[in-house]
Amino acid sequence: MNEEMTPDYMTGTPNTVCADARRQFSRIGLMFLVGTALIYGVQFGASAIANAINPDLLSSTSYSLLIVMIPMYVIAMPVMALLIKRIPAVTLPKKHMTFGQWLITFLMCYGAMYVSNYIGLILTQLISILKGSPVTNTMLEVATSSNLWVNLFIMVLCAPVAEELIFRKLLIDRLAQYGEGVAVLFSGLMFGLFHGNLNQFVYAFVLGLCFGFIYVKTGNIRYTIGLHMLVNFLGSVLGVAILKWLGDDFLSIASDPAGMMSYMTGNFGKLIVYFIYIFLLLGVAIAGIILFIVNLKKIRFQSGMNTIPKGKRFSTTVLNVGMALYMIVWIVIIIVQLFQ
């Protein structure tokens, strides 16, 4: 059952708090690890069944994406949510956010994601140089080669709802008692690792921190679901739609000056639209970065009713069986992906 904690139930001495917190973090890590295994299991099973029925299905990026993602959202993640719900939680107080506040928050989130995405690109580029071959950006390849309606269904509708419910509501509700900062940090970290590749880890971690902060301050998961949907729509649907509209030739002209001139001559109108889109996003990012800097001093985290003592926070929250295993497994997955 999903128990609701009260301050009287959970308040104790520092040693008791650390012991209880270590068990709580370990249980959470284990449930998320079991969820990871379930996701890989149902995806492997669905792929095997599809291959047995018609091997050609998996040769289509759109069908392949639907085959592996629908079982994840319909079977694995609901079971994962039920397992997490067995861990005691607190109820966060709900606060209203106006549309204007939500819009400003979106700009700040987008600005933070924009900067962190470039940090991730720099890191992957450095690794590409060190290993002598490019790091594959699997998600970009999938998004650009699949049907836009499939992208809309999976990345704009399914992913934000499932991921926000699990990595914000269910996770933060079970960690908020140790302080808002701890809850937000682990929400971002576990969310970033869950993406399974370095290309996405950096910006997913930062976005997870932003969404986590919004959730602990409002207690309303609808706000972060909406933000997540809008961010994914801009990147996985609108951006991909424009790239497809520009055509395959556009993606191959960067290192071909002659080809670039030829393309520009025949597609000048399309390029104007593309650059308007790019500059609009750049404007949104710059506005978000400025707002983020201006409001940075306003970002405050409240301590929890069971604050973990300084000097014991890392050992309590990370050096436990469940959380350590979850992090190790996903770090290994990310490292393997880098060298594929």
Instruction: State pTM to two decimals.
Output: 0.89
What percent of the chain clears pLDDT 90, i.e. is strictly above it?
66
pLDDT tens, position by position, 222-255: 999 999 999 999 988 998 888 888 876 666 665 5
Contacts 24+ apart (CB under 8 A), 228-231: 228/159, 228/160, 228/163, 228/164, 229/156, 229/157, 229/160, 230/106, 231/106, 231/109, 231/110, 231/113, 231/207
pLDDT tens, position by position, 96-125: 999 999 999 999 999 999 999 999 999 988
Tell me the sheet residues that pair with 193.
Answer: none
What is the rounded distance in angstroms from the CA atom of residue 35 to the CA atom of residue 187? Answer: 15
Q: For the purposes of burial, counting CB atoms within 10 Å of the CB of 48, is it exposed (0-12), middle (13-18) or buried (19 or more)?
A: exposed
pLDDT of residue 3: 45
pLDDT tens, position by position, 121-171: 999 889 888 888 887 777 777 887 888 999 999 999 999 999 999 999 999
- Reported residue count of the chain is 340
